[in-house]
Amino acid sequence: MFSNYTLNDPSLLNHKINSVMKVYATNGTLIKTSSSADGFIVNQTGSQRNATTIINTTMQNVIAVVQYTNLTKTAPLSNPLQVNLTLTQIPAISEAESEIAALT
């Protein structure tokens, strides 16, 4: 998921911050939390990509909440952005196909 930002605090310009994405089931249960290990340098405006993998699930709909934070992820720097998402299945590659692909 991509989220756009506009910097309102000039003291953060060209400093590293982070973003945290929490993925919830539609009943409110937290499924997964992910973030960047190293953060990113914030500009006046920009966008940030948040991604995660959810394995072995039959869920089709989830709620993602992204929030920009300080680099150590201990203090929020933005309002949370909540988005309803529909998950899609990516076909698994069989062992035989992966062996062939590894040989080429």
Q: Check residues 30 and 51 and name the one with the higher pLDDT.
A: 30
pLDDT for 100 equals 42
pTM: 0.79
pLDDT category at 55 given cuts 50, 70, 90 is confident
Domain of residue 73: give its range.
2-103
Q: Tens digit of pLDDT for each residue in 60-104?
A: 889 999 999 999 999 999 999 999 988 877 666 555 444 444 443
Query: What CATH number should be reported for the domain holding residue 72?
Result: 2.60.40
Do 34 and 50 contact (CB within 8 A), yes or no? yes
Distance CA 34, CA 32 (A): 7
CB 54, CB 62: distance < 8 Å = yes
How many domains would you assign to the chain? 1
pLDDT reported for residue 103: 41
Helix, strand or coil, per DSSP, at residue 80? coil
Per-residue confidence (pLDDT) for residue 59, from 0 to 100: 83
